[in-house]
């Protein structure tokens, strides 16, 4: 810090015109914050009574400092805080110059690349009406101190769980007090870059700026980080907190067994048989085959063939006798 001080007579304090450079205070900036070269110029004392600039102080005067900040960088800058102080060449007179808090500005103060802004101090100073005569012709010093950095950004990543072989998604929301976030955004999965860096062109507004479809990751738990790298005229770089997501194993689907389709068999309807034109044959009487014997006949000296011939002769003889008898019978 290089506090800017001007020594002036209490009765004739003139507007300060020198420049005060306000580099960032190392102890107040995070490691990722980048210092910004900002100048504080054109310091004026403004009366609280009528809002006009004053050039001298008398007992009972109330005033505040008005100043101009100039950003000497190509990127947006933020004044995190700025305070003024007053002290005199006679330490015994210092207690007669007091200040109370005021709400003129909301910090941080945002400056565009190579831009300027006029701001009012958040204090009101008072010169005591009990200022001794011995303190009315002394030197009064005033100075300013502050912290200026590249306007920061913050990144918040998100990731969706998905199944192996399917797709998920990453998304990143960038927030900043500046109006745009040009640059690139790179996703890092398990410590290695995932996919190409996503370009964020000029005019890209803060918000959800980078969505990415995710595929090709093996099953298991993974961690993703989003890294924002600004363009030369963008806000400060930022890295999201790690986000854990899960790729679940793909479900093995066993296709159902489908039985073969058997076409139906058409059975023709029964029809009447055709009428036959043939005359049915008369049933034949059953014939009894001649009895045979297996027993042995008593030996009479006659052969089997002789016996059969004899039987036939007897039958014939009986038939003749019967016929003759019928013919000899008288008619009734």
Alpha carbon 145 to its chain's center: 45
* Tens of pLDDT, residues 290-304: 555 444 444 444 444
Read off the pLDDT of residues 196-244 as tens digits, 9 standing for 90 and up. 999 999 999 999 999 999 999 999 999 999 999 999 999 999 999 999 9
9-42 pLDDT, tens digit per residue, is 333 333 333 344 454 433 333 446 899 999 999 9
240-289 pLDDT tens trace: 999 999 999 988 777 888 888 878 877 777 776 666 555 556 555 555 55
- Name the residue with higher pLDDT: 316 or 72: 72
State the pLDDT at residue 208: 96
Beta bridge partners of 183: 200, 230
Q: What is the pTM of this model?
A: 0.66
Q: Identify which of 5, 34, 22, 29 has the alpha carbon closest to the alpha carbon of residue 146.
A: 22
pLDDT band of 314, cuts 50, 70, 90: very low
Residue pair 234/217 in contact by the 8 Å Cβ criterion = no
Per-residue confidence (pLDDT) for residue 190, from 0 to 100: 98
Average pLDDT, the chain: 81
Length of the chain: 332
Using CB atoms within 10 Å of the CB of residue 295, give its burial: 0 to 12 exposed, 13 to 18 middle, 19+ buried. Answer: exposed
Q: How confident is the model at residue 2 (pLDDT cuts 50, 70, 90)?
A: very low
pLDDT in tens, 83-121: 999 999 999 999 999 999 999 999 999 999 999 999 999
The values of phi and psi at residue 137, to 5°, are: -145, 60
Strands (DSSP E) found in the chain:
4-9, 20-21, 38-47, 62-71, 77-88, 97-101, 109-111, 116-120, 123-127, 139-150, 153-159, 162-163, 168-176, 183-189, 192-200, 207-214, 220-230, 238-239, 243-248
* Mean pLDDT, range 29-57, rounded to an integer: 87
Confidence class for position 131, pLDDT limits 50, 70, 90 = very high
- In angstroms, the CA 228 to CA 172 distance is 9
Instruction: Tell me the pLDDT tens digit for each residue of 132-187.
Output: 999 988 888 999 999 999 999 999 999 999 999 999 999 999 999 999 999 999 99
The whole-number pLDDT of residue 258 equals 85
């Amino acid at each position: 810090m290089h506090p800017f001080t001007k020594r002036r007579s209490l009765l004739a304090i003139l507007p300060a015109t020198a420049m005060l450079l306000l580099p960032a205070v190392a102890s107040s900036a995070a490691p990722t914050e980048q210092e910004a070269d900002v100048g504080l110029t054109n310091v004026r004392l403004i009366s609280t009574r009528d809002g006009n600039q004053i050039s001298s102080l008398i007992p009972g005067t109330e005033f505040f400092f008005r100043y101009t900040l100039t950003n000497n960088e190509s990127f947006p800058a933020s004044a995190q805080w700025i305070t003024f102080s007053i002290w005199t060449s006679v330490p015994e007179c210092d207690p007669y110059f007091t200040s109370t808090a005021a709400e003129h500005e909301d910090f941080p103060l945002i400056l565009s690349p190579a831009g300027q802004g006029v701001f009012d101090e958040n204090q009101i100073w008072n010169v005591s009406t009990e200022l001794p005569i011995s303190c009315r012709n002394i030197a009064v010093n005033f100075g300013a101190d502050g912290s200026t950095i590249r306007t920061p950004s913050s990144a918040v990543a998100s990731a969706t769980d998905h199944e192996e072989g399917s797709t998920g998604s990453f998304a990143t929301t960038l927030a900043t007090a500046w109006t745009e976030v040009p640059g690139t955004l790179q996703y890092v999965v398990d410590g290695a870059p995932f996919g190409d860096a996503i370009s964020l062109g000029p005019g890209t507004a803060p918000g959800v700026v980078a969505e990415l479809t995710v595929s090709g990751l093996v099953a298991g738990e993974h961690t993703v980080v989003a890294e924002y790298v600004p363009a030369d005229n963008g806000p400060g770089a930022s890295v999201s907190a790690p986000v854990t997501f899960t790729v679940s194993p793909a479900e093995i689907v066993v296709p159902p067994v489908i039985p073969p389709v058997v076409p139906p068999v058409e059975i023709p309807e029964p029809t009447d048989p055709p009428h036959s034109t043939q005359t049915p044959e008369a049933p034949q009487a059953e014939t009894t085959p001649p009895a045979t014997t297996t027993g042995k006949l008593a030996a009479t000296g006659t052969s089997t063939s002789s016996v059969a011939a004899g039987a036939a002769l007897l039958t014939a003889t009986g038939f003749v006798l019967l016929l003759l008898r019928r013919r000899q019978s008288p008619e009734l």
